Amino acid sequence: MLPSLNARKFLEPRIESLLNQTFADWQAIVLDSHSNDGTWEFLQPVAQRDSRFQLHQIPRDGLYAAINHGIDLATGEFIYVATADDTMAPQFLARMLDAFSRCPEAAIAACDALFIDGDGHQLTPANPELKRRLSSRAIMELLELATVRTAFLGEEQNQINYRPAPHDSLIYFSGRSVYCSLTQLLIRTESARAIGPFRTEIGSVADFDWLLRATSRFGTVHLPQKLATWRFHGEQLSIYRDPGRGSVQTMCEQILPEICQRHKLPLTRNDRAALLLPIKMRLARSPITRAYYRFETALRLCWMILKRPAPTLRALRRCKFRFGTRRHTLIPMIFQGLGLAPKDVETGEVEQVESGVVSTTQPLNNPTSASTISRTKS
């Protein structure tokens, strides 16, 4: 689906990236919210030339309402949100579908992203628009999101890997997204509908909320290649703090009991409290509050060492834990204790958390071909 509102200046490269896909069996549901910048006039001849484009004009109720409408209209087995100001590599669909065929238990496929500026050049920390709008720390954190995140800061997966639920969901408890944008994802349609609609009343964190819920239920296959392109132009919803923005802390607090119950995770009371500390620290406004949370972090870390000395110490070394830095989160210690980590699909074994234990499953010997699994349903 392609939701659009006054994005005419970016539509040509977006449409071109769709037309250049090496996998051609797709349908584009274009959802224009009554743009007044020439978008509709530009799209009409595109649809006349190529019947794969279906044009719809919808009420101007916001991006997330448009995505919900697109999910309702989708007839294919997979959904891709083609954000109007971004693009993807010609091999995007083919390689993401191949990732699904290698890892059929996944409901979401994610790739890394290439960050570009408004003119299409690679985004760097020295970009003037970036420096004008964001602090140095915010710039560093934004650029780190080009690579799909793991619990262990700075670690990268070099091979296609499976991230069983609730792996990615627990990483969201750091208060930062696992993926930079929906443009990096291909999602099974039945799973998207099972997750439920994007919330339209919480502003720019609706994708955080939806993906938190999605990854709490479903696993993700990660393809560590920069197949999606994300454009920074200073007008993204997530750059600003809008008045209606929901609380990511409340989202995580509400879903944590559900995660523990669904996956029967052996999380202690200390573990659950530790999972929520990074968000509390991130949202803390006063130095006194931040100092209190650092003290609480130290106490809960000591308790982890006492109860699970070996895995906790291994995680401390692996994540190079240091107080007063971005490495102070206790999430890696919890992951190490659970044995919950991305698993290399190429090894022939995929580990996943099921009923509180780590089990091993073999990938299919005869994976379904991409040309079969992506066709639209009649």
Where does the pLDDT of residue 284 fall: very low under 50, low under 70, confident under 90, or very high at 90 and above?
A: confident
Where does the pLDDT of residue 362 fall: very low under 50, low under 70, confident under 90, or very high at 90 and above?
A: very low
Output the pLDDT for position 329.
82
Q: What are phi and psi of 2, to 5 degrees?
A: -130, 95
What is the phi-psi region of residue 66: left when phi exceeds 0, alpha when psi lies from -120 to 50, beta otherwise? Answer: alpha
Q: Given a cut of 80, is residue 133 above it in pLDDT?
A: yes
Output the pLDDT for position 189.
98
Q: What is the pLDDT of residues 69-100, one digit of tens each?
A: 999 999 999 999 999 999 999 999 999 999 99
The DSSP bridge partners found for residue 131 are none
Every domain of the chain and the residues it spans = 2-251, 268-344
Where does the pLDDT of residue 152 fall: very low under 50, low under 70, confident under 90, or very high at 90 and above?
A: confident
**pTM, full prediction:** 0.87
Average pLDDT, the chain: 86
What DSSP element (H or E) covers 15? helix 8-19
- Report which of 185, 1, 15, 5 is spatially closest to residue 87, judged by C-alpha positions: 15
Where does the pLDDT of residue 320 fall: very low under 50, low under 70, confident under 90, or very high at 90 and above?
A: confident
Where does the pLDDT of residue 371 fall: very low under 50, low under 70, confident under 90, or very high at 90 and above?
A: very low
Output the pLDDT for position 281.
87
Q: Which residue has the higher pLDDT, 344 or 368?
A: 344
The answer to whether the bond into 311 is cis (omega within 30° of 0) is: no
Whether residue 163 contacts residue 172, with contact meaning beta carbons closer than 8 Å, is answered with no
Q: Given a cut of 90, is residue 237 above it in pLDDT?
A: no
Output the pLDDT for position 369.
34
Output the pLDDT for position 13.
96
Output the pLDDT for position 3.
97
Among 40-49, 297-306, 309-318, 360-369, the minimum mean pLDDT is found in 360-369
User: At the top level of CATH, which class does the domain 2-251 belong to?
Assistant: alpha beta
Q: Given a cut of 70, is residue 32 above it in pLDDT?
A: yes
Where does the pLDDT of residue 283 fall: very low under 50, low under 70, confident under 90, or very high at 90 and above?
A: confident
* Rg of the chain (C-alpha set): 21
